[in-house]
Amino acid sequence: MPESLIPKHGGYRKLVSFQKAQLIYDVTVRFCGRYISPRSRTHDQMVQAARSGVQNIAEGSLASGTSKKTELRLTNVARASLEELRLDYEDFLRQHGLKQWPPDEPALVRFKAKRCTSLEDVQSWVKEERGRARTARDRQGQRSTSLSVIGGRCPSLRSAELVANGALSLLNLCCYLLDRQLAAQAGAFEREGGFTERLYRMRQERR
């Protein structure tokens, strides 16, 4: 099959990295609206970082038809934006005296098993975990440690810890996928070049 000057491109909606980044954006908008003052710079920075992750994955995919270099650059911007957002969630937990969960935290294991694809899925998981905590308190006659929250915390902070750790889990997965995506894009660019190289090869073939 002859080489196409402008190969198939776009199709970003099918990328798992895009789907996860979009979910992270939805979760972050909701999280900031509930737990961070709208007058805080952190509020705007977190929302913008989440949006940047989504937009740059999409723009990079669309640009790939004529510029692999631009695709690579924009995918890297998306990766950097989500790394910034990951640090913001970690800062939130630390500054509010909440725990960043290890990978084997039972609630986090259940979150990963749920394979959330929408904000509603995440909200359902939070509700389930809050219900587990209440059941554990009733059975043990004391405050459950399953949420890593010490007695006296208000319910909103318990929910914030859940959502922040769920968001971090999604960010870890999305950043991993983007790292793989960047490696694949760099390899393809190194092997095949970009628009200029394709144009040169096609001109040579026609001579």
Ramachandran quadrant class, 141 (left: phi over 0; alpha: psi -120 to 50; beta: rest) = left
Residue range 83-96, pLDDT digits in tens: 999 999 999 999 99
- Residue 74 near residue 182, CB atoms below 8 Å: no
pLDDT given at position 5 = 43
Please tell me the distance from the alpha carbon of residue 200 to that of residue 207, in angstroms, as a whole number. Answer: 11
Give phi and psi for 20, each to the nearest 5. -70, -40
Please tell me the distance from the alpha carbon of residue 84 to that of residue 205, in angstroms, as a whole number. Answer: 46
Residue range 23-71, pLDDT digits in tens: 999 999 999 999 999 999 999 999 999 999 999 999 999 887 667 888 9
Please tell me the distance from the alpha carbon of residue 86 to that of residue 79, in angstroms, as a whole number. Answer: 11
Q: What is the pTM of this model?
A: 0.81
Task: Return the DSSP state at 98.
Answer: P
Pick from 48-52, 73-77, 152-156, 199-203: least confident: 199-203
**Residue closest to 21 by CA, chosen among 74, 65, 78:** 78
Boundaries of every domain in the chain: 12-206
